[in-house]
Amino acid sequence: MKGVVIYTSKYGATAQYAKWIGAAVRLPVIKAGDFVSSTQSEYDFVVLGSSVYVGRLFMKKWLRKNRSWLLNKKVFLFVVSGTPLDQKDKLESYISGSLPREAINKTDIHFLPGRLEPKKLSWLDHLIIIMGARLQESSEARNQMLTGYNRVHHEHIMDLVDAVTTFQMKSQQKISA
């Protein structure tokens, strides 16, 4: 079974996870913008990675463009955001606002914690963060949005790596049988 890791990343957290995942499961890692659609038939499965930007998956347009191809593949998706992992409804809203229902039901989805470095943001993104911070009920959440945080750690990929590895092993067993 041949697979690939394809990702979009605005400020680097998703790219870091993609590289770690690719190394762990021995798959090539390609930025979505560099992926050549003529190579789609080479892959049996795909690991997609996207950050969240203004409540939507950053790779939403790419997903829409490649929808028919993806619906015929095993898809693993990791979503990187600043939203705490215990806020399931909010995390799931990013998916429902970006993927068609038939794709959601067929996709193995993993949420990974992100990073926010205010000094690296564009002026527009910085303004969006300031406005978002004002809407936070918790002073801790407000402060983190304004000062930044880094929750990107290698151990967060382990569930996804296990899922991909299990899929690869089961697929190999079917081929061997």
| Burial (0-12, 13-18, 19+ Cβ within 10 Å), 151 | middle
Assess whether 76 and 163 both reside in one domain: yes
Q: Kindly report the CA angle at 57 between 81 and 89, in degrees rounded to 5? A: 60
Q: How many CA atoms lie within 13 A of 31 on its CB side?
A: 7
- At residue 8, what is the residue type? T
Let me know whether 66 and 138 are in one domain.
no
Residue 39: band (very low, low, confident or very high) from pLDDT cuts 50, 70, 90: confident
User: How many other CB atoms are found less than 10 A from the CB of residue 93?
Assistant: 15
Mean pLDDT computed over 56-77 = 91
Residue 113's pLDDT band (cuts 50, 70, 90): very high
Query: Domain range spanning residue 20?
Result: 3-114+152-176
CA 48 – CA 31 distance, rounded (Å): 10
Query: From CA 65, how far away is CA 47, in angstroms rounded?
Result: 16
Contact 28, 18 (CB under 8 A): no
Instruction: State the DSSP string of 130-143.
Output: HHHHHH-SSHHHHH
Q: Are 73 and 140 within one domain?
A: no
Q: If DSSP codes are grouped into helix, strand and coil, which group holds residue 116?
A: strand
pTM of the model: 0.90
| Alpha-carbon span 136 to 11, nearest angstrom | 22
* Pair 84, 56 in one domain: yes
pLDDT digits (tens, 9 = 90+) for 125-173: 889 888 888 888 888 877 787 888 999 999 999 999 999 999 998 887 7
Split into its structural domains, the chain has a count of 2
133 and 53 inside one domain: no
* CA-closest candidate to residue 111, choices 131, 95, 128, 129: 95
Q: Which residues pair with residue 48 across a beta bridge?
A: 6, 77
pLDDT band at 177 (very low <50, low <70, confident <90, very high): low
Whether the CB-CB separation of 17 and 111 falls below 8 Å is answered with: no
The CATH code of the domain that includes 25 is: 3.40.50.360
Residues 91 and 32 in one domain: yes
Cα separation, 174 vs 177, in Å, equals 5
